[in-house]
Amino acid sequence: MPRIVRPTAYGTPDVLAVTEVPIPRAAADGVVVQVRAAGVNPIDWKLYSGAFHDVDDNHKDAAGIAASMPQIGLECAGVVTEVGAQVTDVEVGDEVIVYPVTAAYADYVTAPATSILAKPAALGWPEAGSLILTGATAVHALHAAGVSAGDTVLIHGGSGGVGLMAVQLAAAGGATVIATAAERNHALLRELGAIPVTYGPGLSARVKTAAPQGITAAVDFAGTDEALDVSLALVPDPTRIASITGSPRRAETGIKLLGYGPGEDAGADLRDAARADLIAQAASGTLRVIIDTTFPLAEAAKAHEIGISGHAPGKLVLIP
């Protein structure tokens, strides 16, 4: 019987349970995909952590009961097993990348045909299943901060899933990249074209030493007050600072906030449009998807425990 991993309550990863469900059926405009790899992203544990509980409270049913627990697993790759009647450009047996999607921590997932992109043979399953969410977020953040050739960009959280994508994309675009990370990840960042700097007290001075020419833009994937304050101190124009996570303080600073909360830009069209190019770059090897660890589907809770610690250099991926 096919399995799915779902949170059974709000809380820590121990609320995740593996249950057996029938194979889902395709909608007329959608497909069913047998999942070969599902990317793990911080949004997955944030969704059931209670951090977004206010959002859930806005979605009560007519009886005033809170919406059902969130589905988790927002990207994957796999093989098409059923195609809806209205879908013309996807066939059973196609190897595909699926994004955006919900409930991808499963043996089978349904998705609209608009979420389906061909998986190049050159791309492995773990890489294909964990490329797009971080890659498209990185593209969005660099775009929002206006990063282009000639810029010196400060990337906070350069060794995380989103950061590793942004470092490579900014460097390939001709920017000088200063990236913050723990010391043990500096060699990897150098390999990808960045000048690594250790975060923590004294960050501003270390960045100035690494970039005496000055910082023209910053993207924050760490979300600490330190990252916000150093960005504001070093980047002359706050509209050239983009942040995907952090405290409510950010709203009063004039920087660009990206995401799905109030006052944030979700950038859905830009992110969707970025998918094909990200796949092409990853298939050609010019963009590396760095996998930290793969886990069997049933070990999703273990993957989340490691992810929550916030120091995995690269992607965590579930393999059903």
Ligand X SMILES: NC(=O)c1ccc[n+]([C@@H]2O[C@H](COP(=O)([O-])OP(=O)(O)OC[C@H]3O[C@@H](n4cnc5c(N)ncnc54)[C@H](OP(=O)(O)O)[C@@H]3O)[C@@H](O)[C@H]2O)c1
- Interface residue list for ligand X (CB under 6 A): 41-43, 46, 134, 137, 156-157, 159-163, 180-182, 185, 199, 221-224, 227, 244-245, 258-259, 307, 310-313
For the CB of residue 7, give the shortest distance to ligand X in the complex, in Å: 16
For the CB of residue 35, give the shortest distance to ligand X in the complex, in Å: 20
**Cα dihedral 279, 284, 290, 291 in deg (nearest 10):** 70
For the CB of residue 203, give the shortest distance to ligand X in the complex, in Å: 9
Pick between residue 12 and residue 81 the one whose CB is nearest to ligand X. 12
Contacts of 149 (CB under 8 A, 6+ apart): 173, 174, 175
For the CB of residue 190, give the shortest distance to ligand X in the complex, in Å: 13
- Residue 308 neighbours by CB distance under 10 Å: 14
For the CB of residue 251, give the shortest distance to ligand X in the complex, in Å: 14
Pick between residue 113 and residue 289 the one whose CB is nearest to ligand X. 289
Which residues, listed in sequence order, are joined to residue 110 by a DSSP beta bridge?
A: 32
Pick between residue 70 and residue 223 the one whose CB is nearest to ligand X. 223
Pick between residue 24 and residue 42 the one whose CB is nearest to ligand X. 42
Pairing of strands 30-40, 108-112: antiparallel
Question: Measured between alpha carbons, how far is 1 from 20 in angstroms, rounded to an integer?
Answer: 6
Beta strands in the chain (DSSP E): 3-7, 16-20, 30-40, 76-83, 95-98, 108-112, 116-118, 152-156, 176-180, 194-197, 217-220, 241-243, 256-257, 291-296, 315-319
Q: Would you give the distance in Å from CA 226 to the centre of its chain?
A: 22
Q: How far apart are the first and last CA of the chain?
A: 13
Pick between residue 16 and residue 291 the one whose CB is nearest to ligand X. 291
Pairing of strands 95-98, 30-40: unpaired
For the CB of residue 82, give the shortest distance to ligand X in the complex, in Å: 30
For the CB of residue 117, give the shortest distance to ligand X in the complex, in Å: 19
Q: In a 3-state reduction of DSSP, which class is residue 100?
A: coil
Between CA 175 and CA 128, with CA 100 as vertex, the angle to 5 degrees is 65
Q: Which residue number has the CB closest to ligand X?
A: 160
Q: Would you give the distance in Å from CA 93 to the centre of its chain?
A: 27
φ/ψ of 285, rounded to 5, equals 90, 0
Pick between residue 80 and residue 227 the one whose CB is nearest to ligand X. 227
Pick between residue 111 and residue 230 the one whose CB is nearest to ligand X. 230
For the CB of residue 85, give the shortest distance to ligand X in the complex, in Å: 33
Pick between residue 105 and residue 221 the one whose CB is nearest to ligand X. 221
The single-letter code of the amino acid at 245 is T
